[in-house]
Copies of this chain bind each other. A is one copy, B any other.
Amino acid sequence: MVTARYLEDYAVGQIFGSGRLRVEAQRIKSFAAEFDPQPFHLDETLAGDSIFRGLAASGWHTAAMTMRLLVDGDLKPAGGIIGTGFDEFGWPHPVRPGDELHIESEVLDVRPSRSRPDQGLIRCGRRPSTSTRRSFKSRSVTFSCRANPASNSLRPRWFNRPGCSSQRCEF
């Protein structure tokens, strides 16, 4: 069981993993029926004649499954997994029934919020692997994170220097 981490607990270069989630054909179809009702997400035969050449999960289904991996995974920012945005986002490879999704996030940047002294931002990149290559690509995603209420709120301006966390840098 991993407990939540405060902003001060993150440092550039840390890597956080997840469990694995197997993609099921029936859930591909039922998700698509509600949110993305197109032949290549609904029916194997029709999908075989499409650009995907076989049943493929809706990109939003893939994104949602990845969110589940993140929530259950090791990243655990205090306040919850709250993404503020991606700087690029796409789906380079179809996700198929039987695929196993797994993600690894690498911390690229940690910085305090300019407007909220009790909050900060953690920017993460996705580490490539066989399974993540299949799902979606993003240059980076930024999460909000609570600062430790016990720490000094006057953070040094070089807090987000590469390789530097508040534990390891001199205040």
- List the interface of chain A (C-beta within 8 A of B): 31, 34-40, 50-51, 58-61, 63-65, 67-68, 71, 79-91, 137, 144
Q: Give the nearest-CB partner of A70 in chain B.
A: B36
- The quantity of this chain's copies bound in the complex is 2
Among B51, B88, B144, the residue within 8 A (CB) of A51 is: B144
Q: How far is the CA of A67 from the CA of B57 in the complex (A)?
A: 13
Q: Find chain B residues with CB under 8 A from A39 CB.
A: 80
Give me 27 A-to-B residue pairs in the complex whose CB atoms sit less than 8 angstroms apart, sorted by A's number: A34-B64, A34-B68, A35-B67, A35-B68, A36-B64, A36-B68, A36-B71, A37-B68, A37-B71, A38-B71, A39-B80, A40-B80, A50-B79, A51-B80, A51-B144, A58-B67, A60-B64, A60-B67, A63-B63, A83-B90, A85-B89, A85-B91, A85-B137, A86-B86, A86-B90, A88-B88, A89-B89
Q: Find chain B residues with CB under 8 A from A88 CB.
A: 85-89
Instruction: Establish whether residues B84 and A90, one from each chain, have CB atoms under 8 Å apart when the complex forms.
Output: yes
Q: Find chain B residues with CB under 8 A from A60 CB.
A: 60, 63-64, 67
